[in-house]
Amino acid sequence: MSAGTNSDRSANEPTKFRNLSDDQVWERWRADIDRVKEDLYELFASRRAFLEVSELFRTNDRLQREGGNVWQWLLVNYASFVVMRIRREVDGQRNVISLNQLFSEVKERPSVITRQRYLTMLRVKAGEPLYVVNDQYFTKRWARPDAVGCADEIIDVERVESDRRALDKATKPVQEVGNRSIAHRQRVEPAELTLPAVDEALRVLEELLKSYYVLLHGASLSQAEPIPQYDTLAVYSFPWASKQHEGDE
């Protein structure tokens, strides 16, 4: 079988970002923030589950005496999962979906996000209370101070860059551990990663998700942690080992 020609391969490649229309870029960003939201929902749900199990270990003397191996297994897997998921959102490669890459693309194509596009997305008439509130919101959160009121007013890239820097600063300790100890194994050990440092990274991720979800979908998210529709502790209320296993002992 012969290899495909260059023209065949290029026909199957995604359209380059710079060649997309403004409408295509807008829909791309809306899809990307949805993907980020789903990943962060999963991350925050995992944190909730880990904290619940941590509390079970803290308050159960028998678990503390006999479950050290299980606790170590949970801790190692949770730490690796959290670090890699946070690291994913700061990935700046061109071919990835991440918050960091979203910021880079918005800075590259700021003309895609205008006050008019944002307000049109909401499908409310000019002058209505919801229109006025969102018009004021765009001015306060996204507008360039020297361009408020312009018909073709675009998003202020300095605000986006400020968000990018906040993300990088909050996740720096996590990135160091991920790059040096989990994704790779470097000879120089990173500084110890603390739970407060992880919590700060998650806090900033949550705030940025909520902010850009409003911008791209016009919908508010109360939090990044999904509310479970079931008793999350029910699975821990009965023995897991079978009677046959107990008899073997």
If DSSP codes are grouped into helix, strand and coil, which group holds residue 32? helix
Whole-number Å distance between alpha carbons of 146 and 25: 25
Amino acid at 224: A
Residue extents of the structural domains in the chain? 21-112+158-220, 114-154
| Separation of CA 87 from chain center | 10
Whole-number Å distance between alpha carbons of 100 and 88: 9
What is the pTM for the complete model shown?
A: 0.85
Neighbours of 220 (CB within 10 A): 8
In which element (H, E) is residue 132 found? helix 129-141
Q: Each residue's pLDDT tens digit in the chain (249 positions)?
A: 444 444 444 444 456 888 999 999 999 999 999 999 999 999 999 999 999 999 999 999 999 999 999 999 999 899 899 999 999 999 988 889 999 999 999 999 999 999 999 999 999 999 999 999 999 999 999 998 776 556 568 999 999 999 999 999 999 989 888 777 776 766 667 677 888 899 999 999 999 999 999 999 999 999 999 899 999 999 999 988 876 655 555
Using alpha carbons, select from 77, 98, 82 the residue that is nearest to residue 175.
Answer: 82
Angstrom distances, CA of residue 131 to CA of 7, 138, 152, 162:
48, 11, 17, 27
